[in-house]
C-alpha cells in the first residue's frame, strides 16, 4: 500500500529529526577543557552537514507525497498533507537551530583562540621586561650609560593597554557563558599576578636607576673638579721646574 510506504518514510525522517535534536540541541553541554569545546564544534559541523544531506531525502518524500495526493482520492489527502507539512517545518527548524548553535560554538572557539593569542603576546612582552630588569640589575658605568639603560626600560614600559583590555573582555565573554571558566580564571590569575609583580619591580628599578644616575653625575662632577685642580697644580709645578725653583723655596707646594 502506497500510503503505508509514505507514512513509513515520514515516520523515519521524524525519528531522525527527533534523535538529532536530542543529541545536539536538547542536552546540557559543559565545556571545561579546550578539547571538549573543539570536539563539540567538530560534532556540530558534522551534524549540520548530515542535516544538509537529508534535504535530498526530504525532497524525495515531498515529491512522493505530492504525486500520491495528485492521484489519490480526496479522503487520503488531508492526513498525509498534514504529516508532510509537520515534517518540512520540523526539518527546517532543525537545520536553523543546528546552524545557529554551530555558528555560536565556532565563535566561542574563535574567541578562545583569540584570548590565547593575546595572552601569548602579553607574556612575550613580560619576558622582555624580565630580561631588561636582569640586564639592569647590577649595571656598572657612568651617568650616560645608566641613563641609556633607564631610557630603554622606560620605552619598554610604554606598552599600550589594548591587549590587556582585550584579554579582560574575551575572558569575561567566555566565563559569563560558563565556558572554560576554571581554566580561564587560572590563566588570568597567573598572568595578572606576573604582570603586577613585574610592573612593581620595573617602577622600583626606574627609581634605583634615577638615583644611580644622580650619584654618577655627582661622582663625575667631583672627578672633574679634582682633574681641574690637578691640572692647575701640574702647570704650577712644571713652571717651578722650568725656573729651577727648589722645593725648599716653596714649602707649601712641596708639602
pLDDT exceeds 90 at position 14: yes
Report the candidate in 123, 126, 125 with the shortest Cα–Cα distance to residue 115: 123
Angle CA(46)–CA(49)–CA(52) in degrees, nearest 5? Answer: 150
- pTM of the predicted structure, to 2 decimals: 0.78
pLDDT exceeds 60 at position 110: yes
pLDDT exceeds 60 at position 4: yes
**Residue 255 binned pLDDT confidence (cut-offs 50, 70, 90):** low
| Cα(170)–Cα(140) distance, integer angstroms | 44
Look at residue 251 in the predicted model and tell me its pLDDT: 66
pLDDT digits (tens, 9 = 90+) for 45-59: 999 999 999 999 999
The segment with the largest mean pLDDT, out of 54-63, 223-232, 244-253, is: 54-63
Q: What is the mean pLDDT of residues 225-242?
A: 87
Look at residue 76 in the predicted model and tell me its pLDDT: 64
Domains of the chain: 2-211 (1.20.58.60)
Mean pLDDT of the chain: 89
Look at residue 242 in the predicted model and tell me its pLDDT: 86
pLDDT exceeds 60 at position 254: no
| Cα(11)–Cα(29) distance, integer angstroms | 28
Amino acid at each position: 500500500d502506497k500510503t503505508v510506504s509514505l507514512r513509513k518514510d515520514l515516520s523515519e525522517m521524524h525519528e531522525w529529526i527527533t534523535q538529532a535534536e536530542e543529541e545536539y540541541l536538547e542536552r546540557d553541554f559543559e565545556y571545561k577543557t579546550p578539547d571538549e569545546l573543539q570536539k563539540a564544534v567538530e560534532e556540530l559541523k558534522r551534524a549540520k552537514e548530515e542535516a544538509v544531506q537529508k534535504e535530498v531525502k526530504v525532497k524525495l518524500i515531498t515529491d512522493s507525497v505530492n504525486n500520491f495526493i495528485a492521484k489519490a482520492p480526496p479522503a487520503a489527502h488531508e492526513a498525509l498533507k498534514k504529516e508532510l507539512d509537520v515534517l518540512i517545518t520540523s526539518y527546517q527548524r532543525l537545520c536553523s537551530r543546528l546552524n545557529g548553535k554551530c555558528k555560536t560554538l565556532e565563535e566561542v572557539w574563535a574567541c578562545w583562540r583569540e584570548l590565547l593569542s593575546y595572552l601569548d603576546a602579553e607574556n612575550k612582552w613580560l619576558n622582555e621586561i624580565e630580561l631588561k630588569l636582569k640586564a639592569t640589575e647590577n649595571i656598572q658605568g657612568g651617568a650616560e650609560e645608566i641613563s641609556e639603560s633607564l631610557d630603554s626600560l622606560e620605552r619598554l614600559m610604554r606598552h599600550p593597554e589594548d591587549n590587556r583590555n582585550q584579554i579582560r573582555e574575551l575572558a569575561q565573554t567566555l566565563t559569563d557563558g560558563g565556558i572554560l571558566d576554571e581554566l580561564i580564571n587560572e590563566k588570568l590569575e597567573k598572568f595578572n599576578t606576573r604582570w603586577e609583580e613585574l610592573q612593581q619591580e620595573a617602577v622600583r628599578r626606574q627609581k634605583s636607576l634615577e638615583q644611580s644616575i644622580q650619584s654618577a653625575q655627582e661622582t663625575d662632577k667631583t672627578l672633574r673638579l679634582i682633574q681641574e685642580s690637578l691640572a692647575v697644580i701640574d702647570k704650577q709645578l712644571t713652571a717651578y721646574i722650568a725656573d729651577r725653583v727648589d722645593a725648599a723655596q716653596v714649602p707649601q707646594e712641596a708639602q
